[in-house]
Amino acid sequence: MKFSDGYWMMRKGVHAVHPVEVLDIDAGPASFVVHAPVQRIRHRGDLLKGPVVTVSCASPMPDVIGVTVTHFAGERPRGPAFELATDPTGEVTVDEDAATLTSGALSVRVGRGRVGRGDGWRLDFLAGGRRLTGSAQKAMAIIDTDDGRHYVREQLDLGVDHFVYGLGERFGPLVKNGQAVDIWNADGGTSSEQAYKNAPFFLTNAGYGVFVDHPGRVSFEVASEAMARTQFSVEGQSMRYFLIYGPTPREILRKYTALTGRPARVPAWSYGLWLSTSFTTDYDEATVTSFIDGMAQRGLPLSVFHFDCFWMREFRWCDFEWDPRVFPDPPGMLRRLRERGLRICVWINPYIGQRSPLFEEGRARGYLLRRPNGDVWQWDLWQPGLAVVDFTNPEARAWYAAKLDALLDMGVDCFKTDFGERIPTDVVYHDGSDPERAHNYYAYLYNQTVFELLRKRRGEGEAIVFARSATAGGQQFPVHWGGDCESTFEGMGESLRGGLSLGMSGFGFWSHDIGGFEGTPDPALFKRWIAFGLLSSHSRLHGSRSYRVPWLFDEESVEVLRRFSRLKMRLMPYLAGAARQAYGEGLPVMRAMVVEFPDDPACTHLERQYMLGDDLLVAPVFSADGELSYYVPRGVWTHYLTGERVEGGRWVRERHGFDSVPLLVRPGAVIPEGAVEDRPDYDHADGVTLRVYEPADGARVTTLIPGADGDAATTFTTSRDGPVVRVEAAGAPGAWNVLLVNRRVVAVKGGESAEHPRGALVRAAGGELVITLKEKGSTAAPGPKGDDR
């Protein structure tokens, strides 16, 4: 929200006051409160008027400092509020010049400024021997408008080469500088400035992130009102924000998710391919069976089958009852699908149409949102007479969950938790929640209700939803998908930008509709999107008015889907390790390049490529002809599919067939590849091959392969000392191998070696291998450059 009219004036009807000096400081052992008048204190007469801005500083955990800016402290407390994990800490020092709170490596400093002296207002955040950012004169503000509204605003300095990321899943440019962003969930597709998943959190490449602790509408102006500042404001009398010190983006995300919650561990089967009925297509059990038969006959691995909206009767969403006209025997059908090794997902939303038998039940019991006059809130958008479940009512949550519980008894495994964005504000909640604050937070309560039921029934690590709406903290209930994108290359690009933005907002797992949702993709687009989709944390074939089985496009689509599906299954040991970082550290599986390479200026704006985990660079192809350019950071990288080396520190231009995509391995990496390619839920350590990519002399790389409980079941340590590579295995692994990519060996202890198209393959006979490499100049370049299949 913009308040100013250019640099010098405020907009008509807008009146702002700013703290100009410090009157006094109340200091405690781990916090302090500053009272800052908005006019100079020259004599006692100036002490008879206000406003006085109250600024409180405290730390909820090391390297995180909260600042609360308050005008009138008598405002009634309003819910809901974000659930934060806090352990207050910090040390306060006060001297003649300033009050300073230090937490870990981060400090906030407010210049003391004495009465009558006229010192200017200044609040600085310091770390690592430098000033990160701060609130200078006329940055912090209390704002009134002629129409009776009241706002609190803060502006933090933004350097010339400092860039802002995050703020939820946003489909515009990855770098938010120059953008105005309102944190307000909306059902606007991927082709607009609206977002399904808004989070009032951003991180920067300047060593810090900021989380505004307000669940409702937060307005951000990122170098868009004041060009050298990041501005955020809320309506009300008080605002709290936390500054989070990294210094790296990875560390910022670790600390932010420690505060707001980390993603849960999701089941191994969920990483496999999901196939959907699509939305408005015609389907029954025969249709579903034909799709599954077709996938099996063509050797296409399939893990989950999803039934979209029309598993229920029209105009009754949701009644949670199968449409008997097309699914006369749901328990039998689900049993038959599960006997084929499939998991089952069904679509739900938090709304109850008037024709649903549950409408009257919910109305009578007070389980639906009501208008201030007591009427049930209803409208005709999406479903005639639609009402909204009130998840602030514990009985309503239990009632809703019980309907889903019956489906779990029937054989359903998980739910696509669609919608939850268009939540009205002219309503009354059961617990008295403020409708403005509850609008975004509704998505949290909705998905929490469903996820907790699944966790209770299935156990830790076996719960998963496919959610569209979210806000801060919602990352605890994965997975999230990107919503309604168009079947165009532009829609594919929007989706990727949204996923990378969401990952920089604390969300670990993300998916999208392969081929796009709106419209029918042409075969070229479909095949390009397949590679992108299977190199995402979760992969789903889903559309709106047309099916997404590959043989309806062309036979090459079948081949491309088979190739990348099997590749993902083989990569499961690696992806399981990346997932462990998501639920253990808050790092996204799919990462913007700047997260991994914050010191490389070329990476700050990259939004057409990403890192999949620590060590794989993916550059989706956004053209039918396969032409693309992408950036490779410094070092010698290696094409995973061909073994071809690529010298980094430059832009690369290539042309790729439909069965190929730039998938590059980081210099010195060790990539564990599994022995199974037809399903994701197998013993990832048994038969694993460690693909070793020319580690530097003296390097030591630890490779963790999680077990079924998410802990590290097997650990491999790869080290190099001159020409000798040593690999040690711990955790009682089964058979395992090492592939030294683009190298030959002269001696092996603890196993046997054989030539391989990509280099030298060594089969371990025990728990340790000692391999002596052949000098590079003593042999021809290894093997042909044909693709790994």
Whether 390 is a known active-site residue: answer: no
Say which of 154, 225, 462, 484 is annotated catalytic: 484
Radius of gyration over alpha carbons of the chain, in Å?
Answer: 28
With both helix axes pointing from N to C terminus, report the angle between 435-458 and 394-410 in degrees, rounded to the nearest 10: 40
649's CB contacts (< 8 A; 6+ apart) are 632, 633, 634, 635
465's CB contacts (< 8 A; 6+ apart) are 414, 415, 416, 417, 447, 450, 451, 454, 477, 478, 479
* Nearest residue to 750 via CA among 731, 724, 785: 724
Rounded distance, CA 270 to CA 681, Å?
9
Extract the tokens encoding 74.
Answer: 């008598």
Tell me which residue has tokens 């998840």.
391
Rounded distance, CA 674 to CA 574, Å?
8
Whether 418 is a known active-site residue: answer: yes
Counting beta carbons within 10 angstroms of the beta carbon of residue 642, is it exposed (0 to 12), middle (13 to 18) or buried (19 or more)?
Answer: middle
Tell me how far apart the terminal alpha carbons of the chain are, to the nearest angstrom: 53
The count of residues in the chain is: 789
Kindly state the helix (H) or strand (E) to which residue 716 belongs, with its residue range.
strand 712-721
DSSP bridge partners of 98: 111
45's CB contacts (< 8 A; 6+ apart) are none
DSSP bridge partners of 591: 611
Which own/partner contact pairs does 144-149 have at CB distance under 8 Å and 24+ positions apart?
144/14, 144/15, 145/13, 145/14, 145/15, 146/13, 146/14, 146/15, 147/13, 149/235
Within the chain, what is the greatest distance between any pair of CA atoms?
Answer: 91
474's CB contacts (< 8 A; 6+ apart) are 197, 199, 443, 444, 447, 467, 480, 507
Kindly state the helix (H) or strand (E) to which residue 311 belongs, with its residue range.
none
Say which of 187, 321, 421, 694 is annotated catalytic: 421
Rounded distance, CA 763 to CA 765, Å?
7
Counting beta carbons within 10 angstroms of the beta carbon of residue 406, is it exposed (0 to 12), middle (13 to 18) or buried (19 or more)?
Answer: exposed
Sign of CA dihedral 170, 172, 174, 178: negative
334's CB contacts (< 8 A; 6+ apart) are 344, 410, 411, 412
Give the CA distances from residue 584 to residues 255, 508, 703, 710, in Å, rounded to whole numbers and listed in that order: 12, 10, 15, 9
Specify the amino acid at residue 568: K
Say which of 213, 319, 418, 694 is annotated catalytic: 418
Whether 323 is a known active-site residue: answer: no
What count of other Cβ atoms lies within 10 Å of the Cβ of residue 118? 12
Tell me which residue has tokens 């490499």.
773
Rounded distance, CA 788 to CA 663, Å?
12
* Nearest residue to 214 via CA among 196, 232, 231, 195: 232
What amino acid positions are annotated as catalytic residues? 418, 421, 484
